[in-house]
Every structure is written in structure tokens, then in C-alpha cells.
Amino acid sequence: QFESVGFIGLGNMGSRMANNLIKNGYKVAVHDIGVELSENGNMYVLRGDGMPQIDVETLLNCNVMKMFSDMGVSTKETPFEVAEASDVVITMLPSSSHVLDVYTGPNGVLRCANLMRPQLLIDSSTIDPRTSRTVSVAVSNCILKEKKDHWEKPVMLDAPVSGGVLAAEAGTLTFMVWFLIFLRIPFHFLFLSWFHKFSLELVGFKAARLETRDPILGERQKIFFIQVGGSEDAYLAAKPLFLSMGKNAIYCGGAGTGSAAKICNNLAMAVSMLGVSEAFALGQSLGISAGTLTKVLNTSSARCWSSDSYNPVPGVMEGVPASRNYAGGFASKLMAKDLNLAATSVEEAGLQCPLTYQAHEIYTELCKDGHEIEDFSCVFRHYYSGKDE
């Protein structure tokens, strides 16, 4: 039922999600903090996630707001302007502080708390459950400018996503170039619309087949799995939006439970990856080959995603990061960030969870040692294979 969607945070994940909404016919307005001129005047700084300085040429090539405006998408200067133009606002930001800033900052989504436009606000960032609940309370203190069919007050959902950014689009384009070279077809043929369409269809087919081999991407171009916290009513109303962006959505309970589910999943995933890596290190040193041990684990009680779909030992499985020098996949720095959220929540809950702290420490060290952009399964090579570079 929602027609206009505002999207804030057009990074690796957000730009793809916004793009999927556009493809599914939603009227989308976007905002990203993007870039600002730094002090020396000839360098720009990409703000947001502590990104390094980059030169102007690189910047012009990666200005995501320009990219969307070139596509004919409405771009807005502030989160508040996005909110004014939208029935639903979705945010996809690096961390809790960015989320608080975008919602409650001076030009934030909730600037006009006494009369605001969007009925539904969805935060898909991976943040701590406490911040999700804080923002949800701030939203429920607002009043709607125009009450439509749904709610008396605006409602908030925390809806973090799982699934990485191994760019399906990039894969598609790469294949398209090879396809044309292989058939020795001159590139100007692309301008003939029938051929363009035909080649894209074939390319799409091939790309979809390539994706099925990737355990993170899953079977289709929509790579996200979404876990949702907030009111069930709002979840049901938002479901078509979720299914435009992602493969599946699961309702988890009240405010903050989507964020909680996300960090619990990643905590369990990290610990199982560490356990499997240690088992392979020990097995190999006791004379069992990694291939044989994989067969054993995968037919025994230790079987898990890290052993049967995302094996960390190079050469055991095709198409996983371990078999391409740990490139792509889920970056160790993101795992360290999520484990930090888990550790903070464990502390707040007053629980004893020693593995949470240890896993966090291991991934923090891994990042300090320069492996922050490598896939998190690189922990096997770093600690256990004795072959770290």
C-alpha cells in the first residue's frame, strides 16, 4: 500500500536495496551524507564510516547521490527532506551513532515530531538492540501529519539484514563483456534494442546460475534475509517492501528483537567458524586431510554452515572465499563490529558468555593485523594454518 519510499544511507548495501525498490516500482527519494570538502580544499573525505581520504577523480566516480540522480531518482539534502517526501523511510547506516544522528539530529527524520509525514520507519542497519528501542520510543512519541489507513502514530521497525554484498550486478556486467567477446559481437550492437534485451536476458540467466553456487548470495539476485522487530501489524504492512529487497523476512517480536536476532546469529556464526577452524587445524596436524575431515564433520554431529557451506580451508570447497584467497564475502571488520555489539549486549544483560568476548577479541586482533576487508573465514589461515602472509 505504500507508494513513496525514502532511503537514507546508500553504501554497499543501501544502494542495492534502494535499487531493488526502484526496480519493483516504488517511487523512491534518497539521501546519503556522501562527501564534503576537507580543509586542504583539493581532497575530499568520504564521511560516515571512517573511510580514508580519496582524490577528486575517484570521488567523482563513486558519488552515489549523483549516480541515483542520473537515474532520475529524487535526491534530497537532509533526512528530514526525505521524510517529508515519503510514506515510508528506510535507513541503512554504519552504526548506532549514525542512526541516532539521522533520526534525532537537527535535520533528522523526526525533526517535526509534532507533525510528521512518514507512517512507517524502518531501520535496517546492524546496531545494538538498545538503540533500536530508543529510536522506536522516539518515533512513538511523534504525531502523524496525515493519518492514513494504518496507524494513529508513526511506527518503527528494526529490520537488519543478513547476506553480503558480493555484487550480483558486477558479476552480471563482467559476464556480459565476456559474452560479447566470446561471440565476437561488435559492441555497437548493444545499441540495437532487441539485441540489448536479448543479451541481457541471457546474461541474467547466466548470472543467476553463477549466484546459486555462492552460499552467501543464495539462489537469486535478492540476497537479503531480513529479521524484523516491532509491531506485528507494521511487519505485515511492510512485508511487500521487505520481499522487494530480500529473499525472506521473519517476524521476531517487539522493538529491538530484529537487531537482537541479527547479532545473535552473527555471534553463533563467528563461534562456529572458530570452532571449525580449530578442528581442521588439529585434524590436519594429526594427519587427517581437510577433505576427509570435511566429509566426516558433514555427516556427523559437528556439521554446520561453516563446515558444509562456507568451509574455511582453501581448496576444500569451490566458490567460497577460502578458495579465492578470502576475497569478497563478509568482511572481518563487519564481524568484529557485530561481535562488539554482542559483547556490549552480553554485558548489559549481566550474562556470562566467555566465547562472545573471546570471539570479539580474535576478530579485533585479526583486523589490527591488516585483514579487516578479507572474509571472516580468513581466521583459519591467520591463526591455524601457519600460512598467514
Positions that interact with ligand NAD (CB under 6 A)? 8-14, 31-34, 47-49, 92-94, 98, 101-102, 125-126, 161, 164-165, 330, 334, 337
Element (H, E) at 1: none
Task: Determine the Cα–Cα distance for residues 332 and 270; give it in Å rounded to an integer.
Answer: 10
- Closest distance of CB 334 from ligand NAD, Å: 5
Minimum CB separation of residue 169 from ligand NAD in Å reads 14
Is 387 labeled as catalytic in the residue annotation?
A: no
Closer residue to ligand NAD, CB minimum distance, 110 or 176: 110
Residue 290 or 379 with smaller CB distance to ligand NAD = 379
Q: How far apart are CA 121 and CA 63, in angstroms?
A: 25
Q: Which is nearer to ligand NAD, 131 or 199 (CB)?
A: 131
Of 256, 253, 244, 232, nearest to 123 (Cα)?
A: 256
Instruction: Give the nearest residue (CB) to ligand NAD.
Output: 11
The Cα 35–Cα 31 span in angstroms is: 12
Alpha carbons 223 and 161: distance in angstroms, whole number = 9
Nearer CB in complex with ligand NAD: 8/176: 8
| Contacts with 351 (C-beta within 8 Å, 6 or more apart), sequence order | none
CA distance linking residue 32 with residue 52, whole number of Å: 17
- How would you label 303-342 residue by residue, b for 16+ Cβ within 10 Å and e otherwise? ebebbeebbbbbebbeebbbeeebebbbbbbbbbbbbbbb
Nearer to ligand NAD, 43 or 143 (CB): 43
Q: Which residue in 76, 262, 333, 337 is the catalytic one?
A: 262
Cβ distance to ligand NAD smaller for residue 167 or 353: 167
Q: Cβ 43 to ligand NAD, closest distance in Å? A: 17
116 vs 106: CA distance, rounded Å: 14
Q: Which amino acid is at 308?
A: D
**Residue 186 carries which DSSP code?**
-
As measured in angstroms, the least distance from the Cβ of 367 to ligand NAD is: 14
N-to-C CA span, the chain: 53
CA atoms within 13 Å, Cβ hemisphere of 338: 25
**80: CB partners within 8 A, 6+ apart:** 107, 108, 109, 111, 112
CB 152, min distance to ligand NAD, A:
29
Measured from the CB atom, the residue of 18 and 120 that comes closer to ligand NAD is 18
- State in angstroms the smallest separation of the CB of 92 from ligand NAD: 5
DSSP characters over 38-103: -TTSS-EEETTTTPPEE-HHHHHHT-HHHHHHHTT-EE-SSHHHHHHT-SEEEE--SSHHHHHHHH
Rg (alpha carbons) of the chain, rounded to whole number: 22
Q: How far is the CB of 349 from ligand NAD (least distance, A)?
A: 21
Q: Which is nearer to ligand NAD, 224 or 280 (CB)?
A: 224
Query: Using N-to-C axis directions, what is the helix angle for 12-23 and 232-245, rounded to 10°?
Result: 90
Taking the alpha carbons of 161, 163, 164, 169 in that order, is the dihedral positive or negative? Answer: negative
CB of 258 to ligand NAD, least distance (A): 12
- Taking the C-alpha atoms of residue 224 and residue 165, their distance in angstroms, rounded to an integer, is 9
**What positions carry a catalytic annotation?**
262
